Amino acid sequence: MRQITFLITMLMIALNGYSQQEVVQDFESSPSVTGFEGLASALVIDDPTGAGNGKVFELVTATGGNPWQGAEVILDDQSLLELTSDKTMSVDVYSTVAFSPMAKVEGTGVPAAANTQDHTGSGWETLTFTFTTGSDGTTTANGVYNKVVFFPNRNAADDGWRNPIIDATVHFDNITGVKTSAGGGNDNPPSNAAPTPPNLADGAVISLYSNAFNNISVDAWSATWDDSDVEDVVVAGDDVKKITFTNFIGVDFATNPFDASEMTHFHMDYWTDETDLTGKVLNPKWSNHQGGNGETNALELTNPVPAGSTGQWVSVDVPLTDFTEVNGGDKSAFAQFLITSNIGIVYVDNIYLYNETFSNDTFAQDQYKTYPNPATDVWNIRSSNVGISTVEIFNTLGRSVKRLEVDGSNISIKVSDLSTGIYFARISDSNGQTNTVKLIKK
């Protein structure tokens, strides 16, 4: 990294007030880079310009490639680019040919944004990209980004691609902006187990992962084609999956696909100690492989992580109709499950599909009678054969909204202060056993 970059960055801070800007990527760590669309070369190399920059990112164009050729840089989880209040990024760019590079930022669950700037061809210049212009049909940046893409062949008017294609070797260094992290690298697991799932009849649930049900056979919890890692851990006596995300995790069970046509709802519990949840997502996807021919269609859910949920189990419990259908809604051959996230480390549990028609199994129905259900003012819970010691009510986000310490077989719970919706009552009896029943507030 050159001294000139530091001085320029300090000058920008003084002029613009962006005191939080710093170098996000200086290429000394040799990050993951990939060229595309016919670019001749994309490499991290020693600075060949004589400026003493250390490592730089070199792009060599190809006149026979596509005009939109370019290369991408994947940022490290601990050095990401945040474009929320400050939507600028500066980059040192070297060229002996005048050109107009376009920079584009991409991430998970955030809008892609691009901007084009002019380089005079005079050697090293510091270009500042402002991601509010909507170059190349994008929109305004807002969130945390883990990918920066450079396109060397944009035309100066920023309304298309240069023709003929520029014939040049250019270099990029010192991507500078507001730096943040994905919260990865922590070793602070949850201290409490995920919420206990409700009792479901065997035919009413298909479980990918839960101690409460019989799980399907899985070929790989971290498929060869994903870029993240999965580890089996135990939390408060409960088996949990710890996922360290780069971009997405892929669970492969293609040798044992299942028909989910009768399932109506999806459930997943997750936990993270990430403190900055702005723009963070945990997006599940079911990949359907009709006839064993690879993905024929899919169901995807955009799932923003709620603010204030740091250090808490969050339950996603939604109808499958909330998922977006990709190339159709067929559910006859689910073969893969994916989670995409821009959080570093997440703990997940209780991933299953179910049919809400059979929300409580026969055992729970026989042991506990709940009435009225749905209710407007009061839920009554009656035990058929044991005393009730504790009742705790959870909403569908897995958060406790009421807790009662009781001693008896008939109790009443005031619910007029609760919002309309679905709740789960975790009932503990005098024998130390726990069961969960579903309740509905009108």
In angstroms, the CA 388 to CA 397 distance is 25
- Are residue 392 and residue 332 in the same domain, yes or no? no
**Looking at the DSSP assignment, which residues form a beta bridge with residue 63?**
none
**Looking at the DSSP assignment, which residues form a beta bridge with residue 239?**
234
Residue 370, domain extent = 362-441
> How large is the greatest C-alpha to C-alpha distance in the chain, in angstroms?
86
Residue that finishes a domain, picked among 339, 358, 377:
358
- Are residue 65 and residue 45 in the same domain, yes or no? yes
- Are residue 208 and residue 302 in the same domain, yes or no? yes
Q: HSE, CB side, 13 Å, CA atoms: give it for residue 326.
A: 13
- Are residue 172 and residue 302 in the same domain, yes or no? no
Task: Assess if residue 187 is contained within a domain.
Answer: no
347 in Cβ contact with 242 (< 8 Å):
yes
- Are residue 289 and residue 400 in the same domain, yes or no? no
pLDDT at 432: 65
pLDDT at 68: 97
Q: Look at the block and give the residue holding tokens 């730096």.
A: 179
Q: Phi and psi dihedrals of 261, rounded to 5? A: -60, -30
User: Which has the closest alpha carbon to 173: 22, 35, 23, 16?
Assistant: 23
- Are residue 124 and residue 85 in the same domain, yes or no? yes
Q: Determine the distance from the C-alpha atom of residue 237 to the mean position of all C-alpha atoms in its chain, rounded to a whole number.
A: 27
Is the pTM here over 0.75, yes or no?
Answer: no
Put the strands of the sheet holding 378-383 in their side by side order.
368-371, 378-383, 410-414
Other CB atoms within 10 A of residue 270 CB: 29
Tokens at 163, concatenated: 């023709």
Task: Assess if residue 353 is contained within a domain.
Answer: yes
What CATH code is carried by the domain that includes residue 41? 2.60.120.260
130 in Cβ contact with 87 (< 8 Å):
yes
Task: Tell me how many domains the chain contains.
Answer: 3
How many angstroms separate the Cα of 256 from the Cα of each of 27, 120, 173, 208, 323?
43, 58, 47, 11, 23
Quick one: CA torsion of 23, 24, 30, 36, rounded to 10 degrees? -120
In angstroms, the CA 211 to CA 336 distance is 20
- Are residue 353 and residue 227 in the same domain, yes or no? yes
Residue 52 identity (one-letter amino acid):
G
Residue that finishes a domain, picked among 298, 325, 358:
358
The one-digit pLDDT tens for each residue of the chain (442 residues) are 444 444 444 444 444 444 478 999 999 988 889 999 999 999 999 999 999 999 999 999 999 999 999 999 999 877 899 998 899 999 999 999 999 999 999 987 789 999 999 999 999 999 999 999 999 999 999 988 999 999 999 999 999 999 999 999 999 999 999 988 764 444 578 889 998 888 877 678 999 999 999 999 999 999 999 988 999 999 988 999 999 988 899 999 999 999 999 899 999 999 998 888 888 899 999 999 998 888 999 999 999 988 888 888 998 988 999 999 999 999 999 999 999 998 889 999 999 999 876 544 433 444 677 888 888 888 888 876 667 888 888 876 667 788 888 877 788 888 888 888 888 787 887 766 667 777 888 8
What CATH code is carried by the domain that includes residue 284? 2.60.120.430
Task: Assess if residue 259 is contained within a domain.
Answer: yes
Q: Phi and psi dihedrals of 366, rounded to 5? A: -70, -40
How many angstroms separate the Cα of 341 from the Cα of each of 228, 243, 272, 304, 311?
10, 10, 12, 10, 17
In angstroms, the CA 438 to CA 424 distance is 5
Residue 8 neighbours by CB under 8 Å, 6+ apart: 90, 126
- Are residue 233 and residue 164 in the same domain, yes or no? no
pLDDT at 358: 52
What's the CA angle centered on 196, arms 334 and 315, to 5 degrees? 60
257 in Cβ contact with 216 (< 8 Å):
no
Task: Assess if residue 190 is contained within a domain.
Answer: no
With the C-alpha atoms ordered 341, 347, 353, 354, is the resulting torsion angle positive or negative? negative
Tokens at 274, concatenated: 């990430």
pLDDT at 384: 66
DSSP 8-state code for residue 197 = P
- Determine which helix (DSSP H) or strand (DSSP E) holds 232, and give its type and residue range: strand 229-235
Task: Assess if residue 300 is contained within a domain.
Answer: yes
- Are residue 338 and residue 384 in the same domain, yes or no? no
Tokens at 254, concatenated: 């293609």
**Looking at the DSSP assignment, which residues form a beta bridge with residue 371?**
380
Task: Assess if residue 150 is contained within a domain.
Answer: yes
Task: Assess if residue 185 is contained within a domain.
Answer: no
- Are residue 96 and residue 160 in the same domain, yes or no? yes
Q: Look at the block and give the residue holding tokens 């492969």.
A: 252
- Are residue 267 and residue 381 in the same domain, yes or no? no
User: Which has the closest alpha carbon to 384: 337, 429, 442?
Assistant: 429
What CATH code is carried by the domain that includes residue 369? 2.60.40.1930
Residue that finishes a domain, picked among 296, 331, 358:
358
In angstroms, the CA 256 to CA 403 distance is 41
Task: Assess if residue 226 is contained within a domain.
Answer: yes
Other CB atoms within 10 A of residue 48 CB: 12
- Are residue 145 and residue 260 in the same domain, yes or no? no
pLDDT at 344: 86
Tokens at 380, concatenated: 């009554």
With the C-alpha atoms ordered 316, 321, 327, 330, is the resulting torsion angle positive or negative? positive
pLDDT at 362: 39
